[in-house]
Amino acid sequence: MNTTLDHLHALFLRDLDLLAQEIAAYPSESDLWIVGGDIKNSGGNLCLHLTGNLQHFIGTLLGKTDYVRNREAEFADKDIPKTVLLQQIETTKKTISATFKKLNASDLAATYPVEVFGKPMTTEYFLIHLLAHLTYHRGQINYHRRLLGGKQQ
């Protein structure tokens, strides 16, 4: 049965797989952390931000995991090995799958547990926002990698 929940789950997993492909495609680990000019966020930091964001907003708030987000570290940490970033993506995929298995259609229609944008919204609306956020930053990572002369996808 293909429900909105099934579609969202599949899209999150797809985009996390694509994120892993982007991170793996960087020709060197040091390239993951390059910033310059108006580019303030490296591919590595955007990866940390995406996994932290999803672990918090889906894992902690919907799945009731014990993950504690450190948003500042997502942008401050540097030189984390590519293997660690890829493992964080895998952990995030597992968290999302475990959380989505607990959700149902009435959960999607319910008000999301926190007011992220200063007003109430449904869980479905916020999950769509999180998916768009993931896709947006994944595109930035792709551009960052290619700008540095990395492999084409």
* 148 band by pLDDT with thresholds 50, 70 and 90: confident
Q: Contact 52/70 with Cβ under 8 angstroms?
A: yes
Residue 140 lies inside a defined structural domain of this protein: yes
Residue 149 has pLDDT above 80, yes or no: no
Residue span of the structural domain in which 37 resides: 4-147
- The count of residues in the chain is 153
Which among 92, 104, 101 has a CA at the least distance from the CA of 130? 92
Residue 66 has pLDDT above 80, yes or no: yes
Residue 2 has pLDDT above 90, yes or no: no
- pLDDT at residue 1 in the model: 57
Residue 94 lies inside a defined structural domain of this protein: yes
Which among 15, 115, 87, 95 has a CA at the least distance from the CA of 54? 95
Residue 153 lies inside a defined structural domain of this protein: no
pTM higher than the cut 0.85 = yes
Residue 21 has pLDDT above 60, yes or no: yes
Q: 41-65 as b/e, with b when 16 or more CB fall inside 10 Å?
A: bbbbbbbbbbbbbbbbbbbbbbbee
CA 64/CA 45 separation, integer angstroms: 25
Residue 152 lies inside a defined structural domain of this protein: no
Which among 89, 11, 81 has a CA at the least distance from the CA of 54? 89
Q: Contact 15/127 with Cβ under 8 angstroms?
A: no
For 102-129, write each residue's pLDDT tens digit.
Answer: 999 999 999 999 999 999 999 999 999 9
Sign of CA dihedral 45, 10, 27, 88: positive
Residue 72 has pLDDT above 90, yes or no: yes
Number of domains in the chain: 1
- Looking at residue 50, which CATH number applies to its domain? 1.20.120.450
For 25-56, write each residue's pLDDT tens digit.
Answer: 999 999 999 998 888 899 999 999 999 999 99
Residue 24 lies inside a defined structural domain of this protein: yes
DSSP count for the chain of H helices, then E strands? 6, 0
Residue 60 has pLDDT above 80, yes or no: yes
